[in-house]
Chains A and B, each alone.
Chain A
Amino acid sequence: MTTITASSVPEPTWRDGVRKIASSYLVRRLAKALFSIWLVATITFFVIRAMPGNAIDILMQDLTAQGVSPDDARNQAAALMGIDLDQPLPEQYLDYLSNVIHGNLGHSYRSAGLQVTTMITTVLPWTLFSVGLSLLITFVVGIVLGSIMAYKRDTWIDHLLSNLAATLDAISPYLIGLLAILFFGIIWKLVPITEMRGAMSSGMKPGFTIAFLADIFKHVRVLLLVYVLSSVGSWMLQMKSNTVATLGEDYVMVARARGLTDGRILTAYVGRNATLPLFTRLAISVGFIVGGSVLLETLFTYRGIGFLLAHAISERDYPVMQGVFLIITMSVIFSNLLADYVYGWLDPRVRISGEEN
């Protein structure tokens, strides 16, 4: 047995202050996000520069094969990637990191003179728009259908929805996209698939006009549908199992015993608690959808960041490849940070246990 006396409690020092800040939920998450970005930047550096058969070597070979002298090829490759090849590797690495921090991602190799940063900023909004919107729709649809499945457990509607969800979850998003084009666009001719290429019609002026919004919706609708179909299955199944688990909790039984209405139990007791764990899934889902956007945007010729990455890969445009990859990863990491923050705000238990550790 230890007795706690007043003298055993130390005076708060600046160290405790630092420890308190370091253990705060948001700061820890932020540190983790920065660490992830550093990790990805480092991996990228190795892929470009340090690995055997790295991107700069390939780029130099490529240029030499086009008749550029080896020295010129070396200089051109270095200029495109924004790297000084004469420095020792550790210094190149530091330079590279500082370039990334300053948003200097080099120049495109195929589209001469274009800055990678500019190329990215013109396409990124479209991906954020389509992925964000589809995530929102998926989240809502998944929660609603998942709760229905749990409430109507073992009825025909549960069997139908469960099988549907399991099927959708099993099939690759890319195949769902192909099937959507084939059936909606070609065989049933429901949508004009060739007119839908790009994020908006040419000559359309961006702005908050109804014509513009209608146009971008027209271009994005099938892509949205495919995103939703390809990820809603797992949300539904998880929401179902969460709701089933919550329905068995004592507090739900007590709420029933107290004679609360079903609607109130559903919204205030079951729904809230069953939805909470789904927020941690948001993180994985964002990465999954953005990863899938590389394939789906290419398939639908939707000019977002996934399309840009696929394009850079097919042209072996290494400076664009590394830049786009970095930005894709950073956006996923930041949306994770946001999801973490929202989760901590919704569920105080997470925040508090974070502070105790």
Chain B
Amino acid sequence: MAAVRDFLTSFWQEGVKTLKILSRNKMGLFGLLMTTLIIFVSFVGPLIWPPETSANVKEINKGSSPAHWLGTDFQGQDNLRKIVNGGKDIVTIALVTGVLSMLIAVIVGSFSAFIGGRVDSILMDLVNVWLTIPKFPLLAVLATVLALKDVVTLSVLMAILDWPALARQVRSQVLSLKNREYIEAAVMLDLGTPRILFRELLPNMMSFIAISTIFEMTHAIYQQTGLVFLGIVPYSSANWGVMISAAERRGVLFNPQAAWSILAPIAAIVLFQLALVSFARSLDEVFNPRLRSSA
């Protein structure tokens, strides 16, 4: 367990170091702050500002005003308030899918790379076959037949469908790191597999893992909002995806006056995706000096 503890300490030190470099990168800092803000608001916001329970017929489909910054929807409810209350599902789905699929990918990918030989080639052939199957139609069909009710099950399903692509990337990362001098030195010194894995290999892959997880998160958001649009995931909770489809179904798209109630959730999702990706891309620059601009 000492190896795991060491890994966590070095992980923490790496994290602090990353934050220091990141604070010099404007895009990355924006991404990090915005992501933190969205996650914070999504989980704390509903406690302070709970959703409206009744419709307000006098204020239907209004534009922006001092009372309603983002206008009102087809029920006369405040859009900003719905945005604050509708982020929890999206954030949960993104986090659970991203972390779970990456976890499976790291385990299978590094296992495959370390074992090598026939197991490795069979696993990778299977992964390559899996990659040619279009995931969204498969997800749509499976989700319809399974009649999913809650966000966590949906996230698990998405993670199960999505991990193979990540595993292939993890494998090639491990393979390229495996032949570096410091890993070879560690093997020569006979430091033991857990120590090599947690002290030498994983810390050097952390940036890659973080970046891939984040990209998987944005992908999960895309898939979830798509499933809501197709009417596969139930409407029970009012998340951003549901807000978009509800507005779309009410013909808001063809009513310029009501544009606020569809633009608001789109903006929320786009902002979240952009924040995540700009954070990930700057991580790439932080860890990959070749990409760091000369400025």
Residues of A within 8 A of B (CB): 32-33, 35-36, 39-40, 43-44, 47, 51, 53-55, 58, 154, 166-167, 169-175, 178-179, 181-182, 186-187, 193-194, 241, 283-284, 287-288, 290-292, 294-295, 298-299, 306, 309-310, 313-314, 316, 318, 321-322, 324-325, 328-329, 332-333, 336
Q: Is B15 on the interface with A (CB-CB < 8 A)?
A: no
The CA-CA distance from A178 to B244 in the complex, in Å, is 9
Residue contact A175 to B129, C-beta cutoff 8 Å: no
Residue contact A154 to B294, C-beta cutoff 8 Å: yes
Interface range, B side: 35 or more
The CA-CA distance from A318 to B256 in the complex, in Å, is 37
Residue contact B131 to A284, C-beta cutoff 8 Å: yes
The CA-CA distance from A167 to B273 in the complex, in Å, is 9
Residue contact A332 to B281, C-beta cutoff 8 Å: no
**CB contact list, B210-242 vs A, under 8 A:** 218, 221-222, 225-226, 229-232
The CA-CA distance from A321 to B232 in the complex, in Å, is 13
**CB contact list, B237-263 vs A, under 8 A:** 244, 248, 253-256, 259, 262-263
Which of the candidate stretches B60-68, B134-142, B170-178, B187-195 sits at the interface with the other chain? B134-142
Residue contact B129 to A35, C-beta cutoff 8 Å: yes
- Convert B114-144 into 0s and 1s, putting 1 for each residue whose CB lies closer than 8 angstroms to a CB of A: 0000000000010011111111111011101
- List, sorted by A's number, 10 A–B pairs whose CB atoms are closer than 8 Å: A36-B132, A169-B277, A171-B270, A172-B222, A178-B248, A178-B266, A186-B254, A186-B255, A318-B145, A321-B141
Residue contact B132 to A336, C-beta cutoff 8 Å: yes
The 9 A-B pairs at the shortest CB distance, nearest first, are namely: A291-B136, A172-B222, A170-B277, A287-B134, A291-B134, A170-B273, A36-B129, A336-B132, A295-B226
Residue contact B269 to A295, C-beta cutoff 8 Å: no
Residue contact A313 to B140, C-beta cutoff 8 Å: yes
- Kindly identify which residue among B129, B230, B263, B274 contacts A32, using a CB–CB cutoff of 8 Å: B129
The CA-CA distance from A188 to B269 in the complex, in Å, is 23
Residue contact A172 to B277, C-beta cutoff 8 Å: no
Instruction: Give chain A nearest CB distance to B136 CB in angstroms.
Output: 3
Residue contact B262 to A172, C-beta cutoff 8 Å: no
The CA-CA distance from A134 to B68 in the complex, in Å, is 40
Residue contact A47 to B142, C-beta cutoff 8 Å: yes
Q: Is B276 on the interface with A (CB-CB < 8 A)?
A: yes
- A170: chain B residues at CB < 8 Å are 218, 270, 273-274, 276-278
The CA-CA distance from A181 to B266 in the complex, in Å, is 13
- B47: chain A residues at CB < 8 Å are none
Residue contact B133 to A287, C-beta cutoff 8 Å: yes
Besides A313-B144, A321-B144, 13 other CB < 8 A contacts?
A36-B132, A170-B278, A172-B218, A172-B221, A175-B269, A179-B266, A186-B254, A291-B135, A291-B137, A294-B226, A325-B138, A325-B141, A333-B132
Q: Is B57 on the interface with A (CB-CB < 8 A)?
A: no
Instruction: Give chain B nearest CB distance to A324 CB in angstroms.
Output: 8
The CA-CA distance from A123 to B144 in the complex, in Å, is 22
The CA-CA distance from A318 to B147 in the complex, in Å, is 13
- A36: chain B residues at CB < 8 Å are 129, 132-133
- A44: chain B residues at CB < 8 Å are 141
- B259: chain A residues at CB < 8 Å are 182, 186-187
Shortest Cβ distance from B121 into A: residue:
A357
Instruction: Give chain B nearest CB distance to A41 CB in angstroms.
Output: 11
Residue contact A283 to B131, C-beta cutoff 8 Å: yes
- A332: chain B residues at CB < 8 Å are 132-134
Q: Most chain-A Cβ atoms within 10 A of its Cβ — which of B145, B222, B255, B278?
A: B145
- Kindly identify which residue among B142, B230, B254 contacts A314, using a CB–CB cutoff of 8 Å: B230
- B269: chain A residues at CB < 8 Å are 172, 175
The CA-CA distance from A44 to B130 in the complex, in Å, is 14
Asked, given contacts A166-B281, A298-B230, whether A313 binds B273 with beta carbons under 8 Å apart, the answer is no
Q: How many A-B contacts at CB < 8 Å in the complex?
A: 143
Residues of B within 8 A of A (CB): 125, 128-138, 140-142, 144-147, 218, 221-222, 225-226, 229-232, 244, 248, 253-256, 259, 262-263, 266, 269-270, 273-274, 276-278, 281, 291, 293-295
- B130: chain A residues at CB < 8 Å are 39
Instruction: Give chain A nearest CB distance to B91 CB in angstroms.
Output: 16
- Kindly identify which residue among A241, A294, A336 contacts B230, using a CB–CB cutoff of 8 Å: A294
Instruction: Give chain A nearest CB distance to B261 CB in angstroms.
Output: 11
Instruction: Give chain B nearest CB distance to A350 CB in angstroms.
Output: 14
Residue contact B138 to A171, C-beta cutoff 8 Å: no
- Kindly identify which residue among B128, B129, B135, B225 contacts A174, using a CB–CB cutoff of 8 Å: B225
Residue contact B274 to A171, C-beta cutoff 8 Å: yes
Shortest Cβ distance from B129 into A: residue:
A36
Asked, given contacts A291-B136, A291-B137, A313-B232, whether A171 binds B147 with beta carbons under 8 Å apart, the answer is no
Residue contact B137 to A325, C-beta cutoff 8 Å: yes
- Kindly identify which residue among A55, A175, A187 contacts B270, using a CB–CB cutoff of 8 Å: A175
The CA-CA distance from A173 to B225 in the complex, in Å, is 11
- B218: chain A residues at CB < 8 Å are 170, 172
Residue contact B144 to A172, C-beta cutoff 8 Å: no
Asked, given contacts A178-B266, A316-B144, whether A167 binds B229 with beta carbons under 8 Å apart, the answer is no
Shortest Cβ distance from B165 into A: residue:
A284
Asked, given contacts A32-B129, A172-B269, A182-B262, whether A309 binds B140 with beta carbons under 8 Å apart, the answer is yes
The CA-CA distance from A107 to B291 in the complex, in Å, is 55
Shortest Cβ distance from B295 into A: residue:
A154
